[in-house]
Structure 1
Amino acid sequence: MDTEISFFRKIVTGETAFQKKIRKEILPILADLRLAILLLLVIAVFSISGTLLEQGQSLEFYQSNYPEHPALFGFLTWRVLVFIGLDHVYRTWWFLSLLVLFGSSLTACTFTRQLPTLKSARRWVYYEQPKQFKNIALSAELTTGSLTALEPLLKKRHYLVFQEGNKLYARRGIIGKIGPIIVHASMLIILAGSIIGSITGFTAQEMVPGGNIFQVKNILDAGQFSESRIPKDWAVKVNRFWIDYDPEGRIDQFYSDLSVLNQQGEEVDRKTIHVNEPLHYQGVTFYQADWGIAALRVRVNKSPVFRLPMAPLDTGGQGRIWGTWIPIKPDFSAGVSVLTRDLKGTVLVYDGKGQLVSTVREGMSTEVDGVTLFIDEVVGSTGLQIKADPGIPFVYLGFGLLMISVIMSYVSHSQIWALKEGDRLYIGGKTNRAKVTFEREIVAILDELNDREDNNSLSLGNLSENPQS
């Protein structure tokens, strides 16, 4: 029995020693403001790098845009990007570790500094000796006035007043001490939202022709626990995609009419999206991000309508052009080429020798190499960016609280002490900000006290001169 008691006592002693080590050695390091600032700067630098460097692209993309010879800035190559994880910086273990460490620093600072400061500010301590007022930068000694006259003056200025005998304490602006705590709490909420989004969210991209049904497959970037977020029991149909052009022929806006279909193919939601107006469904958001030309529906002479895919051509940075080749003989021994730049419905038709024959609009036909070519439709494709980020509500909540708490932090915490000792009234006060305004307030209070004393003296003088009244 004694052995068991000794064993458990050692365990308890070991836990106490460990807790003591955390409190005395680890917490002061975590709560150090210099560490918090350093972590914040490092997080900011890597966050900027994640904005400047394309995230979640293929290996071929980085090999093409960040070659080893010549290396960007002399050192930044695709190997460096991939090795460090700068191609998906927000989901790397070291970036998430920085967020956790920064959150730990904020938490330690909150519990070791902010909460004790708030607790101290909520306590009221009376000054019991006149010499205590000499330690206050802003203080006064009056031969007139009383605590009874002082109390309503302070309450009129929204001070919370405590009085005991000949001693008085008043404070205002305790919310200014709560503000920094909420600032820390809001930053912790933002960090939590960022971490949740990084490990459970995903980003995908799809290029879908009008009329097609698709499921999210082309995942560009995904967190370690994002599998459950990727939709598997519902799909999306692109009912129609179109572009509006301004009078000068430039793109004004492009639209996608989307329907969400359940496993039975029934429509459960529908919305026409455009830039800055996405579709939200079960935590997944579909943004209008790009567009393209998918296919051309044509007829040759009296043939049935057949659909030919169109592919983007390399123009050397001179704009976007899509093209296709249309066979005009059953054995595919001859054909014509068709090019188009946009979805206005105008195509350029070239004969078998590569000579431009005519410009044709949708619903029209032209004669080329002995056949009649009908252009029925230019089929567009919508480029959708698809995201799921469960941490966004936490981030929005954190930023909302942050704005409120920053305003709270600018509220001055002011304290006033008073002591009535014989015929003397001692008054002193201090504040943590807006000190000039506070000084003017103290002067105004002293002036009002003097005015009241003068009025009282005048009233007493009238009574002594006219005792019958």
Structure 2
Amino acid sequence: MTAAVSLWHKIFATPKRYFNREVLPLLADLKLAIALLLIIAVFSIWGTVIEQGQSLQFYQNNYPEDPALFGFLTWKVLLTAGLDHVYRTWWYLGLLILFGSSLMACTFKRQLPAWKWFTRDQKLYSKPQQFRKFALSAEVPSESITPLMEQLQQRNYRIVSDEHRLYARKGIIGRLAPIVVHISMLIILIGGVVGALTGFIAQEMVPSGQTFQVNNVTDAGPWAASQVPKDWSVKVNRFWIDYLPTGEIDQFYSDMSVLDQGGTEVDRQTIHVNKPLRHKGVTLYQASWSVAAVKVKFNNSPVLELPMGELKTKGGRLWGAWLPLDPNDMSNGASLVVKDLQGLVLIYDKTGKLVSTVRKGMAVELNGIRVSIVDLVGSTGLQIKADPGVPIVYLGFGLLMLSTLMSYISHTQVWGLWQDGRLYLGGVTNRAQVGFEREFLSILDTLEVLPDRVATPSAE
């Protein structure tokens, strides 16, 4: 029975002992934490420089095999390594988890024991020579230790004392700052991992007047399906662009309504660049625009809507549509070309010759048919994101800022001893040394007698 218990102990105690002696010190090593932080920073930069979540065609065009970027970075290497979605790769998440483990190990192995040491009541000194080790110390005649205790109480020191000795401290919260820093960084890492696993990015190009649901997801975490909205949709009531007098774009806007499953409007907002629409954790950003269609009339016919497509040009963005003029021969017609939504339409015949320039609301005669340009229909380009980790990251950064403020609080400690009509006192602080020296001298001034000896740090 004893042998079985001993074997059981070896089996289960050995891994724990190995972890405590080998793994935990390695994780708590500052050099490892710094190395991991640098590696994470490098790959984060890669994720910023390299466009994330684009199509295969995009990477093939921008990262060809010949010539390869930097001599090695081709679209195959990029996709194989996951550099097209750096923040969701297993190795990047693994680095975050390893760095978080290092922070936790350092917190439990170094910071918490240090905090316990600082928060415990320090020993009371009983010998005058013990005060010589302090950076700042003094010796004054006194009838008791009470005057010193009263001065320290007025300055909000926490005091532990007996009849002839005392220990006082204040600003212990400053010693908590490193622990709060570690906790805040852990929270930020957790928020990043949550966002990578459950967030998604989508893009939609929606013509004015149409209703859509989020379908074109370009990048998503493995658990992001629950975040893609299925129980509500969005209608683009109107899209328009404001232009400067020079003809340049000033701003573009989308008036959008959020509809529930029954088609009832539950929210309505006008968005523009830097003013998104947020609904149930999903954010819709105004990202781009396009020309979707042109509305025309043939003589007195009903208004017809012809879709327009973007033309590949080197001199800027252009959109075009084919306008058939003979129902029996679709090749007989004209081309309509526009460069924006201001209403100017260029009309070319089938040979490519410019035959007319008209504006929205005007008409032109083509092959004996009166063609009226009724309107141009714009499309709003939306970038749609959901990241449940963002509130967690904000909480972490809030704590990080709080810890920065806490770190400015000085932790000051004072010891006192009364013996044979003499009062010995000394103290230390972890920062603001000049301020502590002034406070120390102020305490001495209020003891009503001049000190026989005041010791300050030597210049050696």
Query: Normalising by structure 2, what TM-score?
Result: 0.94
Q: Deviations over 1:430-468 (max 9, x none)?
A: 1111222222222222222245899xxxxxxxxxxxxxx
1:163 alignment partner in structure 2? 161
1:337 alignment partner in structure 2? 335
Q: Deviations over 1:185-210 (max 9, x none)?
A: 11111100000000001000000101
Q: Deviations over 1:92-150 (max 9, x none)?
A: 00000010011111111111111111111111221122222122222222234642111
Instruction: Tell me the distance in 2 between the aligned counterparts of 1:12 and 1:273.
Output: 65
Does the 8 Å CA contact 2:200/2:386 hold for their aligned counterparts? yes
Tell me the SS of whatever aligns to 1:76.
Answer: coil
1:75, CA displacement in angstroms? Answer: 1.7
Deviates more, 1:250-259 or 1:93-102: 250-259
Q: 1:11 aligns with which of 8, 13, 18?
A: 8
Report whether the alignment pairs 1:384 with 2:387.
no
Which ranges in structure 2 are unaligned for 5 or more consecutive residues? 453-460
| 1:347-366 matched pairs, under 5 angstroms | 347-366=345-364
Instruction: Tell me the distance in 1 between the aligned counterparts of 2:431 and 2:17.
Output: 36
Tell me the SS of whatever aligns to 1:64.
Answer: helix
1:314, CA displacement in angstroms? Answer: 1.5
1:122 alignment partner in structure 2? 119
2:181 alignment partner in structure 1? 183
1:322, CA displacement in angstroms? Answer: 0.7
Instruction: Tell me the distance in 2 between the aligned counterparts of 1:226 and 1:7.
Output: 49
Q: 1:214 aligns with which of 212, 225, 244?
A: 212
Report whether the alignment pairs 1:67 with 2:64.
yes
Identical positions, percent? 59
Report whether the alignment pairs 1:107 with 2:73.
no
Change (3 A) 1:146 1:320: farther
Report whether the alignment pairs 1:274 with 2:272.
yes
Q: Deviations over 1:224-252 (max 9, x none)?
A: 11111112222211111111122332212
Does the 8 Å CA contact 2:294/2:307 hold for their aligned counterparts? yes
1:204 alignment partner in structure 2? 202
Change (3 A) 1:258 1:12: farther
Does the 8 Å CA contact 1:173/1:412 hold for their aligned counterparts? yes
1:27 alignment partner in structure 2? 24
Tell me the SS of whatever aligns to 1:285.
Answer: strand
Does the 8 Å CA contact 2:140/2:449 hold for their aligned counterparts? no
Does the 8 Å CA contact 1:180/1:406 hold for their aligned counterparts? no
Instruction: Tell me the distance in 2 between the aligned counterparts of 1:146 and 1:308.
Output: 99
Which ranges in structure 1 are unaligned for 5 or more consecutive residues? 455-469
1:26 corresponds to which letter in structure 2? V
Q: 2:244 aligns with which of 243, 246, 252?
A: 246
Instruction: Tell me the distance in 1 between the aligned counterparts of 2:446 and 2:260.
Output: 75
Change (3 A) 1:145 1:361: farther
Instruction: Tell me the distance in 2 between the aligned counterparts of 1:9 and 1:232.
Output: 59
2:406 alignment partner in structure 1? 408
1:398, CA displacement in angstroms? Answer: 0.7
Q: 2:258 aligns with which of 257, 260, 273?
A: 260
Alignment length, in residue pairs?
Answer: 450
| 1:300-449 matched pairs, under 5 angstroms | 300-316=298-314, 318-331=315-328, 332-449=330-447
Does the 8 Å CA contact 1:297/1:307 hold for their aligned counterparts? yes
